Amino acid sequence: MRISTSEFFLGTLNDMLTQESTVSKLNQQIASGQSVVNATDNPSAAAAVLDTANQIDQISTNIGNAQAVSSTMNETLGVLNQVDNLLNQVQSTALQGATATSSSADRTALATAVQGSLQELVQLANTQLSNGQYIFGGSQATNAPFQTTPTGQVVFKGDAGINQIEIGPSLLVPVAVSGQSVFMQVPDGNGSFAVAASGTNTGTGVAALGGVLNSALVTSEHLANTQFEVSFTAGAGGTLNYKIASGTGAPGSVSFIASSGTIASGVYNSSSSSAALSFGGMDITFSGMPAAGDHFMVRTSQATSAFQALQDVIAALQAPVAGASGTRARADQLIQDALATLNQVHTSILSAEASLGTSLSEINAVQSQDGAITTTDQANLAGIQSASLPEVMTQFSEGVTALQAAQAAFGKISGLSLFKYI
């Protein structure tokens, strides 16, 4: 087979260009420390590098989101903790007013202190983050969620929506909690029932709701909106009888219908400073001594707000304690009722704190997992992408030597001519 001079020169030149390209790639690998400089060098490795790098970037975004939402949640927990401390102060103030020695002037001064606490509660509920967003506004976080009307009522202008953020594949967590669920949906009384004294009571009896004895019965009473009326009448020989009627409507009013009639009755234990009556799946304890003709109304709990709970405390402290028989007991009953609802506000705050705490635990677990995955991915990426410098440098040295030898040989061969031998 004959090889022409042009074919020889062209083949030799292509071989040297290939060697130069190999040496150049090896030089780039030495300079960059990476084995895959261009995708065309190793398409499968380049694809693996891209996939791993994208996963690292996504995890980095998720970690950033988790850190941001953790910061917001911790700020929210801080505010809720301040609210909890404020409620403790209000509770302590109300208890001071409930003492037998407190005068109307004492209670008025205490009511003024609670009024200041109410204003502070509104400020806390309107807390803004460093970015200007309102913590408790729901998805309407750009406007103050709680506003005070000219009549002194606090209304909610936010919504129940909760903004969420992704901290993992298909894993969304709430950024905060809605003020509607925390502050505006609080059951009054003991959370199941609320008790109130008739405005015409003349005795010293004060009622306090106890626990739920039959949850299924209480649930059915809620569904039927069952109400109760406890009344006291004079009995034989100076005893005091009680009667409990159940029905619908507002107890003590003309709309109350004792459709179930009398469900319990008997002689009130007047020999003790306190006595408990059980009915309707719950119990109620009386302190002091009711008088014949006194009435107490027990109704199913209704939704109220944390702000209204404080306003109820203020109203209770402003109620007169001096005057006709039963005046102080009625005022004490108002404080007792307000304190019961205040406990439900405490429960609502604690529930919100527990929910945020659970979310924070979940976020911390995801962050720990993301950190471990990122470490593994970075190690895999380094394994795919990083060049073995000793090996590459050896190949580079061999390639340079071979290229130089080829260039020298080509130079000698290309200089040969028959004219030198003629």
Quick: pLDDT tens for 118-143. 999 999 999 998 888 898 988 887 88
**Stretch 301-320: mean pLDDT:** 94
**Stretch 332-341: mean pLDDT:** 93
Whole-number average pLDDT of the chain:
78
Sequence ranges of the domains in the chain: 189-301
pLDDT at 356: 84
Structure-model confidence comparison of residues 351 and 402, the more confident one: 351
pLDDT tens string 265-290: 988 876 766 788 888 889 899 988 99
pLDDT at 388: 45
pLDDT tens string 222-255: 888 888 999 999 988 888 999 999 888 777 777 7
pLDDT at 387: 46
pLDDT tens string 60-115: 666 666 666 777 888 889 999 999 999 999 999 999 998 888 888 999 999 999 99
Contact 291, 206 (CB under 8 A): no
